[in-house]
Each structure stands twice: as C-alpha cells, then as structure tokens.
C-alpha cells in the first residue's frame, strides 16, 4: 500500500520515523513528510500542507496525519468532500488512530484495526456502522408482560427477519422506542393498504387479525374481581364458567387475566383461589372495609353489595384502571378492570 505519513512538530517527526520503519518492515511503501523546520535524513520537508495534498492526492492510497483532532478537522475538512485516498489521524503520542475517511479502497477498516495493533494504538472506528441487533420476539414479550398466543409463529417471525423480509407490527396500545430493523409499523385504519404477509399484533381482541400469518400477543393486564352472596357458595366449576363467560362476552382471552382479587373471607378466598388455579394466575384479597371504602358504600346488606365489592376488588387490583365490565353470572359477581400499561422496544 502507498502511504504518506505527515507530521507538523518535532514530537510528530519522531513518531513519523518510527511508523515509517514499522510499515517498511511490513512491505508497505511509506514515505514520511515533515514540516520543513523539523526534518532529518529520512523525512521529506514541506512548507504548504495544501500543496503537498494536491501533489499526492491522486497517487496515494492512504494519508496518515500525525496531529490532534482539532487541527485535523481544520486542515482536512476540504478533502473529506471529494473522492480519494483514505485519511487516518493519529495523535503524536501514538495512542489513537481515527479514520476520517476510508477512501475508495475496500478493506480499509480492517487495515486500520491491523495498523493500530501494529503501532500499539487503539482504533477509534467512529464511522463504522454497528451491526443491527436482531429483534427477539420472546424477549420483547417478556419485557412487556405479553402473552404469545401461537408460539410456533415466533419461528415464522424469526425466519422472516433472518431472510431480510419485512415483518409488520400492529398494536392497539402506544409503543415507545425505536422500531427494530425489519419491523414495519402498521397503524389502525391501514387494513386496506399494503401490509407484510407476516406480522405481530399486540391486541386486546382475539378476533381481529391484521396479517395473513399473525403472531398475536395479548397484554396481561386484566384484573378479575369475584364475589358471591354470603352463605350461598357456588357449585364446583361455577366460578370458572362465570369468569370465562364474562371474558368471552368482551372478546378477552383468559391469558390477559394477570390475577384474581376477592374479599378477605375464608369462603370467598377459597373460591377465588380455585378460580386463580384454573386460570394459572395468583390470587389476592382485600378486607371488606377497604373495598366498601373504595366503593363508597356502607356495610349492612345494601342492594348490589356483591357487585360493589367485586368491582372494588378489580379496581384496586388494576391500580384503579379502566373498567371493562361488571356482570353477574349464575349468581356470581364478576368484574374486569384493565391496568394501564406501557410498551416499549
């Protein structure tokens, strides 16, 4: 490789000679140029940097400039706008090599890394693009508490991204962050326009596909409250049937329920625990006084007390989120509240 090493000070001239010897030993055609007041037998003097660059621009493959970054920016800016050789800058202490331009010759980034190792310096490859981190659907789901409905679709999404094919992304909820490489945002109302065949949906509706091959994910953000009249314990499986009926009536997948909440009473707690076990979620309880205060009613057999307690259970459990529905199924009060969630890449 044809290389011109250029220095401006006495310290730079010493480093210039050292680098010239190293490159010569590795069979590179390196010529050392030094400011005319700091020359020696093996240093070619110059008095005008611009004239030196004009003379050598079309002949060299690399300019190695020994100076600080501030000075390099001042003298090199005009040369970065035109095609030509690579330009590297190295501090006079020989600690860092900074590529200002990789030029038109292939492999200069690798050469910079090799040369920095040879010279005992660190290569600061600021112009190199970082390899894009491949989007991993399962990590995204875990981070955002999302339930993946069809796990085999994870492989479909991964295969598309590995092949460089676009994957659509639709969400009923706001999603923060920068969309990963290969992920194409599809907004509400875009169903009539073009969309990738394979896509990801973060949705709260199990009957609204947005892609031909869809990996659907549900946010686990529904708090389920349950309550039955005192002394009237429901039959076995009645609570499960009532809960599933309430969920299906709202097109809500059972996997969206993250916990069951009930009154802190032995019978109520046992029923709630059985339901939680059937849904494979935890169960929590509140005291009746907490719930009545939340519901804004007094105790003592008021009409609709079970509904009020049940609604207060899911309201508190969701962090006072938005109510989805409150119903009575087979004598059992069921209430659903949606916890507010933030999704991000």
One digit per residue, the tens of pLDDT, for the chain of length 345 reads 889 999 999 999 999 999 999 998 888 889 999 999 988 778 999 999 999 998 998 888 999 999 999 999 999 988 887 888 999 999 999 999 999 888 877 788 888 888 998 898 898 876 555 555 678 999 999 999 999 988 999 999 999 998 888 999 999 888 998 888 889 998 876 655 567 899 999 988 777 788 999 999 999 999 999 999 887 888 888 999 999 999 999 988 899 999 999 999 999 999 999 999 999 999 999 999 999 888 776 544 444 788 899 999 999 999 999 999 999 988 899 999 999 888 999
CATH dotted code for 2-123:
3.40.50.11220
Which strands make up the sheet holding 332-338, listed edge to edge? 283-286, 257-263, 222-227, 332-338, 322-329
pLDDT reported for residue 301: 47
Range 222-344 has CATH code 1.10.1470.10:
no
Beta strand residue intervals within 36-165, DSSP E: 44-46, 62-66, 86-90, 96-101, 122-123, 146-148
Task: Give the CA distances from residue 127 to residues 112, 123, 261, in Å, rounded to whole numbers and listed in that order.
Answer: 12, 11, 55
120: its two tokens: 């005992």
Please state the domain extents for the chain.
2-123, 137-219, 222-344
pLDDT reported for residue 190: 60
Q: How far apart are CA 287 and CA 253, in angstroms?
A: 29
Q: How far apart are CA 275 and CA 262, in angstroms?
A: 11
pLDDT reported for residue 189: 64
Question: How many residues can be counted in the chain?
Answer: 345
pLDDT reported for residue 123: 87
Q: How far apart are CA 345 and CA 343, in angstroms?
A: 7
For β-strands 213-219 and 198-202, DSSP reports them as parallel
Class of domain 137-219: alpha beta
Expressed in angstroms, the distance from the first to the final Cα of the chain is: 45
Q: How far apart are CA 322 and CA 315, in angstroms?
A: 8
């Amino acid at each position: 490789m044809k290389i011109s090493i250029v220095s401006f000070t006495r310290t730079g001239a010493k480093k210039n000679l050292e680098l010239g010897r190293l490159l010569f030993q590795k069979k590179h055609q390196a010529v050392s140029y030094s400011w005319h007041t700091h020359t020696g037998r093996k240093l070619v003097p110059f008095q005008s940097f611009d004239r030196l660059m004009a003379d050598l621009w079309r002949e060299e493959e690399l300019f190695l400039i020994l100076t600080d970054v501030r000075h390099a920016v001042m003298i090199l800016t005009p040369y970065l706008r035109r095609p030509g050789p690579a330009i590297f800058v190295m501090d006079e202490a020989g600690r860092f090599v900074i590529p200002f331009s990789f030029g038109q010759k292939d492999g200069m980034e690798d050469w910079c890394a090799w040369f920095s190792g040879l010279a005992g310096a660190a290569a600061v490859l600021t112009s190199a693009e970082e390899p894009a981190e491949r989007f991993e659907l399962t990590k995204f789901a875990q981070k955002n508490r999302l339930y993946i409905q069809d796990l085999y679709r994870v492989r479909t999404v991964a295969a598309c991204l590995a092949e460089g094919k676009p994957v659509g992304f639709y969400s009923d909820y706001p999603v923060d962050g920068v969309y990963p490489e290969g992920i194409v945002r599809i907004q509400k109302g875009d169903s009539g326009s073009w969309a990738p065949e394979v896509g990801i949906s973060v949705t709260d509706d199990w009957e609204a596909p947005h892609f031909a091959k869809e990996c659907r994910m549900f946010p686990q953000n529904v708090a389920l409250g349950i309550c039955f009249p005192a002394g009237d314990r429901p039959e076995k499986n009645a609570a499960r049937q009532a809960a599933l009926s309430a969920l299906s009536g709202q097109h809500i997948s059972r996997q969206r329920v993250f916990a069951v909440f009930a009154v802190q009473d032995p019978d109520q707690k046992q029923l709630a625990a059985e339901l939680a076990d059937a849904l494979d979620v935890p169960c929590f309880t509140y005291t009746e006084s907490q719930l009545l205060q939340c519901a804004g009613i007094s105790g003592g057999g008021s009409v609709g007390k079970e509904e009020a307690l049940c609604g207060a259970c899911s309201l508190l459990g969701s962090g006072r989120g938005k109510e989805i529905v409150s119903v009575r199924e087979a004598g059992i009060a069921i209430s659903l509240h949606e916890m507010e969630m933030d999704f991000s890449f």
